[in-house]
Structure 1
Amino acid sequence: MEGLAMLRQLIGQLQELVEVYGSHPHYHLQQHHHLHLQPSLQFQLPLLNHHSQQQHQQHQHPRWCPINVDEGSPDDYYSFMMAAGKSGSLKMLEPCKPPPTKRSRKERTREVPQATPWFYTITHENVNSGAMYDPSLKKWHHPTISSLPTKLIVLPVASAGGLVCFLDIGNRNFYVCNPLNQSFKELPARSVKVWSRVAVGMTLNGSSTSEGYKILWVGCDGEYEVYDSVRNSWIRPGIMPSSVKLPLSLNFRSQAVSIDDTLYFMRSDPEGIVSYDMVTGIWKQFIIPTPLHLTDHTLAECGGRIMLVGLLTKNAATCVCIWELQKMTLLWKEVDRMPNIWCLEFYGKHVRMTCLGNKGLLMLSLRSRQMNRLVTYNVSSREWLKVPGCVVPHGRKRQWIACGTAFYPCLTAVA
């Protein structure tokens, strides 16, 4: 409490200096509103002035409103002062900006920085148990999810909000689990049988699993169902519209990406993307030519942008390339590719790739008869990093990734 008192005194002195010397702050604070520390460590003060107040600034002196520090902890205000010091005294106070327009909850949630996603993977020699990779620590974990069937092949096919959706391709059952806290649920049986040639996507109803989630499976023939965790039941909304050409050429590795409430799947013949809005139930199809000489391609997403990752092979040279979908032209534009010195290792080899990930961080499993490499790619920073080999407990051989999904580690998410 002594530190808090000192901070109050310091703020009071600053206010007195402003009043004495007639200097006005560069940022307006509305009285009785507290400071908010953003998780990104970039300190911002909430702007609560209305546009009408800003119009009078040319004729009136800005008011210097005191900060209410009565209900904050000393650590919070110490962090505030440290942030101010690092940015050069009070230079972090920004000029006034117009109040932000009202946005949907989904838009606001998308801008909140999230933890670095982890990857839940299945290796080719250990299909009955998963391996989790933590990119922050560059460490592999080998969890045991006791509730999952042990004598069946259960594969991770989708994720949302810290939960991972599994599909038992033997009995065709779905499960939802939090790999960190072992929260587990077996979903009700479906009205139709689900085979391995389905694609699965998952979205949250709100900003966390406490508000519920939905799971979509769609088959090559256009048949689909939606699971609603609030109702704990599968729903058959209808049939796919005739505007979507069938069959879709999907399988459980047809990774879906989600942007807000919409799921996107890649399709072929014709090449393009199929989308489904989990709220309105509307299907759409976009005809988008795939880049030439492309194999093992997968959709990804970063900040509302749809990305494409694939192997570009020409003659004997192979490289991993990244494309971004241009919304105006509906064409793919190459935005990055793996460093050339890394691609030299692929020269003359028949390389296969498995891509995991969704929200901005991807894991690539690259393999051939003579090679087995794991790489992560950060879409925002365009950073390529090598991943340490995955070795099962008491094993020596490095595993290659057969399938998997990215998920955000969350100890509070409940299935």
Structure 2
Amino acid sequence: MERGGDMGSRRNLKRKFQEYETPIFGLDELNQDLLERVLSRLPASSFFRLSSVCKRWKSVADSATFRLACSDVPSREPWFYMVGSHQPPHCRRPVVYDSSEENWKVLGCPSFLRPEPENEDSCCNFVPVAASGGLLCFHSESDGFVVSNPVTGFHRRVPSPESEQSPLQAIAMASATNSYKLVLVSGEFPKLSFRVYDSGKNEWGEKTFLRRKDPSDGNSNSIEDLDDYPLYFLSKCGNLVASELQRSPCKQYSSVISSNSGEETVYFLSPSGTVVACNLAGKWFVEYPRLLPLDHEYSIDLVECRGEVYAVALSDYLESASLRVWRFDDEKTWEWEQVSAMPPALSHEFYGKAVDINCAGAGNRIFVCASCSEFCRYFLCNLEGNEWVELPNGNGNEFSCAFSFEPRIEAST
């Protein structure tokens, strides 16, 4: 009897629970506004599948209010736009590494990258050179610039500034909510200058020259507007010791932008291998101490992670190869400080192989492409825990470098 009583009590409790249980609604029962808000929280990769689900979801994908809902999402896991070792094939089939789903994806090819029917090699004119927010910047020596949203395929052509005869050293990009800026650094060391394109004004600013400054001088004036982002870039060859290592054509203007310390500063490698810091607001530059001894053969790249700029360097050390991440302390010690190092078990294969590294920063992570004539390897470093993971190959493709961007459907060109 007691057992039967217990069972009856459980049935009564179950019925009461079902009476108060929250009803389950299907997505089709949501109004348009709520449906758009729900779908905007899905992973960005789902955008490619929206139009094939039903007519209503297709209308969501094309809706301006859906893009507005997407803009309310504070951040998305980064994608890495991969650049192939052999440019023509990969130019037609852009590939990205999705860090949220930890897999590779093939994107639709935007029209400006498709070869013309009469000229199969025409798409090779444009190569990616910079990224910011949800946008990528492509450059062509003959056709100027194209700013593109890799997710939607929308793009906009930006002409090169007129009367620019100095050799180009760096191309950088900074994006805001509804606008973006391109920064060009040009000239021969030590005579450097820069120009800025503002998408809001749709025009290039005037050329501004930089002067040499002694490290013992005081800090420059503070910066107050959107132009005031630090710009960091590398020269084409690095230094004389590393001149045999040829950087990817996409990375010859390698650059990153950071708002750290509220001052815009340009970092690049001089022909002698020293790091030169150019403050764009104060219009001055200064040389930093050498990162590694002159007799060390190494490959180097710069990345930005959450406002900090790091140098990633690969060098041969004690019969092995060492890949390390460095940060320069320009406030207290005036020295390079190591912040992370790849485990020797992962980097040993690079010893004596003349490996070239090209990196991209996103959040607290650094994506590393390590390539040479024998192999291509891809790694992801978490700076917070000094965790290094080797990624699977790119569906059989070989990539020499990558650019980091957020997959933002709403990012406008």
TM range (shorter): 0.5 to 0.7
Amino acid at match of 2:148: C
* 1:184 aligned to which of 143, 151, 155: 155
Which deviates more, 192-201 or 365-374?
A: 192-201
Query: Which residue does 2:196 correspond to in 1?
Result: 226
Note closer, same or farther for the CA distance 1:407–1:217 as it changes in structure 2 (3 Å cut).
same
For 1:45-56, list aligned pairs within 5 A: none
**Contact 1:177–1:185 (CA under 8 A) maintained in structure 2:** yes
Query: Which residue does 2:365 correspond to in 1?
Result: 361
Query: Which residue does 1:153 correspond to in 2?
Result: 125
* 1:167 aligned to which of 110, 131, 139: 139
* 2:209 aligned to which of 239, 247, 252: 239
Query: Which residue does 1:257 correspond to in 2?
Result: 256
Note closer, same or farther for the CA distance 1:384–1:290 as it changes in structure 2 (3 Å cut).
same
Corresponding position: 1:124 with 2:85: yes
The alignment yields a C-alpha RMSD, in angstroms, of: 3.2
For 1:286-301, list aligned pairs within 5 A: 286-292=287-293, 293=296, 295-301=298-304
Secondary structure of residue in 2 paired with 1:388: coil
Query: Which residue does 1:214 correspond to in 2?
Result: 181
Query: Which residue does 1:412 correspond to in 2?
Result: 410
* 1:377 aligned to which of 381, 389, 398: 381
Q: After superposition, give the CA deviation of every residue in 1:142-200 in whole Å (9 maximum; x if it has no partner).
A: 2211134631332211112211111113x151110110012211003311357884211
Residue 236 of structure 1: CA displacement? 1.7
Q: Distance in 1 between matches of 2:184 and 2:269?
A: 15
Corresponding position: 1:322 with 2:283: no
**Contact 1:273–1:288 (CA under 8 A) maintained in structure 2:** no
Q: Distance in 2 between matches of 1:373 and 1:405?
A: 16
Query: Which residue does 2:174 correspond to in 1?
Result: 203
**Contact 1:121–1:156 (CA under 8 A) maintained in structure 2:** no
Query: Which residue does 2:313 correspond to in 1?
Result: 310
Which residues of structure 1 form unaligned runs of 5+? 1-5, 7-72, 74-111, 392-396
Q: Distance in 1 between matches of 2:185 and 2:373?
A: 34
Identity of aligned residues (%): 24
Q: Distance in 1 between matches of 2:96 and 2:341?
A: 26
Which deviates more, 305-314 or 345-354?
A: 345-354
Note closer, same or farther for the CA distance 1:156–1:281 as it changes in structure 2 (3 Å cut).
farther
Note closer, same or farther for the CA distance 1:404–1:372 as it changes in structure 2 (3 Å cut).
closer
Q: Distance in 2 between matches of 1:214 and 1:368?
A: 34
Residue 373 of structure 1: CA displacement? 1.2
- When normalised by structure 2's length, the TM-score is 0.63
Secondary structure of residue in 2 paired with 1:343: helix
Q: Distance in 1 between matches of 2:167 and 2:405?
A: 22
Query: Which residue does 1:59 correspond to in 2?
Result: none
Corresponding position: 1:133 with 2:131: no
* 2:269 aligned to which of 230, 246, 267: 267
Query: Which residue does 1:400 correspond to in 2?
Result: 399
Q: Distance in 2 between matches of 1:161 and 1:194?
A: 30
Amino acid at match of 2:127: L
Residue 352 of structure 1: CA displacement? 2.3
**Contact 2:234–2:254 (CA under 8 A) maintained in structure 1:** no
Secondary structure of residue in 2 paired with 1:147: helix
Note closer, same or farther for the CA distance 1:243–1:313 as it changes in structure 2 (3 Å cut).
same
Note closer, same or farther for the CA distance 1:380–1:249 as it changes in structure 2 (3 Å cut).
closer
Q: Distance in 2 between matches of 1:215 and 1:226?
A: 6
* 2:342 aligned to which of 324, 338, 360: 338
Secondary structure of residue in 2 paired with 1:370: coil
Residue 238 of structure 1: CA displacement? 2.3
Secondary structure of residue in 1 paired with 2:290: coil
Q: Distance in 2 between matches of 1:285 and 1:172?
A: 34
Q: Distance in 1 between matches of 2:297 and 2:384?
A: 23
Note closer, same or farther for the CA distance 1:360–1:264 as it changes in structure 2 (3 Å cut).
farther
**Contact 1:296–1:311 (CA under 8 A) maintained in structure 2:** yes
Residue 355 of structure 1: CA displacement? 1.9
Note closer, same or farther for the CA distance 1:348–1:241 as it changes in structure 2 (3 Å cut).
closer
Amino acid at match of 2:198: D
Amino acid at match of 2:303: A
Q: Distance in 2 between matches of 1:296 and 1:358?
A: 20
**Contact 1:131–1:140 (CA under 8 A) maintained in structure 2:** yes
Note closer, same or farther for the CA distance 1:281–1:243 as it changes in structure 2 (3 Å cut).
closer
Count, aligned residues: 294
